[in-house]
Amino acid sequence: MSADRKVGPHHDGQHRIVVLGAGYAGLAAARRLARTARDAHITVVDARASFIERVRLHQ
Ligand X SMILES: Cc1cc2nc3c(=O)[nH]c(=O)nc-3n(C[C@H](O)[C@H](O)[C@H](O)COP(=O)(O)OP(=O)(O)OC[C@H]3O[C@@H](n4cnc5c(N)ncnc54)[C@H](O)[C@@H]3O)c2cc1C
Site for ligand X (CB under 6 A): how many residues? 16
Which of residues 3, 7, 49, 57 is near ligand X by CB under 6 A? 57
Residue 5, phi then psi, degrees to nearest 5: -70, -30
Instruction: State the DSSP code for 41.
Output: E
Residues 25-44 that bind ligand X (CB under 6 A): 25-26
Helix (H) / strand (E) containing 11: none
**Residue 22 is a binding residue for ligand X (CB under 6 A):** yes
Largest CA distance in the chain: 50
Binding site for ligand X (CB under 6 A): 20-26, 45-48, 54-58
